[in-house]
Structure 1
Amino acid sequence: MPDPFHILIAEDEVLAAMALDDFLSFKGFRVTVAANGVEALERYSNEPVDALVTDLRMPRMDGQTLIREIRDRDARLPVVVMTGYLTQDSDLKDDRWKPLEILSKPVNPRVICATLNRMLGLPPEA
């Protein structure tokens, strides 16, 4: 059996991070959680991941800076952004950030899982 896909979650809201960790782990992903962008970048540096799920507003390093830092190392890493603060003129909507999906908070873990499945080439859930 192949190794499960490794997902890095960068989310400063503890309950949201725990709920997403539990759901994605139950669905067969290997999950690493970080409470902010600096911690997420450290964890990524220690062990590469297959996808990043990140909030935009976090302490110590915001999600957009985190994405930029990780994309300097892996330009094609799938990224799912969870936010309630994206403006219409955000440059995250630019094609240079792809593969990237933006989901508005609050986000149902099932939607995040379905988005990850699609981005990682996994079959959709029944």
Structure 2
Amino acid sequence: MPEPAHILVAEDEPLAAMAMEDFLQRKGYRVTLAQDGLEALERYRNDPADLVITDMRMPRMDGRALVRELRGLSAALPLLVVTGFMPMEPGQDDLTSDIWKPLEILRKPVSPQVVLDTVHRLMTARPTA
């Protein structure tokens, strides 16, 4: 029996993180939680995920910096940004640019089903090694 796909969730709001973890586990995924970008990066290095879901605003390392770091480790890693705040300030890389693909952005509040549908789409679109 194949191992379940591994999803790393970087979310600093404990209730949101636990709800996403519970929902994704019930759908058959193995889920690892991280409270911020630095913890997510450390966890990814120790146990690479098949997909990363990240918030944008987090302490220590925000989602934008996490995306940049993860892209340096794996250019094809599927990424899902789930955030209520998405700044597009001058001088910052626009995460909607093709250089960040495969990456999807969902705005909070978002239904668990929309997250699941997006995860499925990103996972099935990723290139096989």
Q: TM-score, normalised by structure 2?
A: 0.90
Alignment RMSD, CA only? 1.3
- Count, aligned residues: 122
Q: Show the counterpart of 2:115.
A: 112
Q: Distance in 2 between matches of 1:107 and 1:11?
A: 14
1:1-40 superposed matches below 5 A: 1-40=1-40
Residue ranges of structure 1 left out of the alignment (5+ in a row): none
Deviation at 1:29, TM superposition (A): 0.3
In structure 2, the residue corresponding to 1:32 is in which secondary structure? strand
TM-fit CA distance, 1:3: 0.8
Give, in angstroms, the shift of residue 110 of structure 1.
1.4
The 2-side partners of 1:107 and 1:17 are apart by 13
SS in 2 for 1:76: coil
Inter-partner Cα distance in structure 1 for 2:53 and 2:3: 19
Q: CA deviation at 1:56?
A: 0.4
Equivalence for 1:121: 124
What fraction of aligned residue pairs are identical, expressed as a percent? 57
Within 1, Cα distance between the matches of 2:78 and 2:29? 14
Q: Displacement, 1:87? A: 3.7
What CA deviation, in whole Å up to 9, does each residue of 1:66-94 have, x standing for no partner?
01101101001000001111145660011
Structure 2 unaligned residues grouped into runs of 5+: none
**What stretches of structure 1 move > 3 A for 4+ residues in a row?**
87-90
Matched, 1:83 2:83: yes
SS of 1:56's partner is coil
Relative to structure 1, is the Cα distance of residues 34 and 114 closer, same or farther in structure 2, using a 3 angstrom cutoff?
same
Output the CA distance in 2 between the equivalents of 1:54 and 1:48: 15
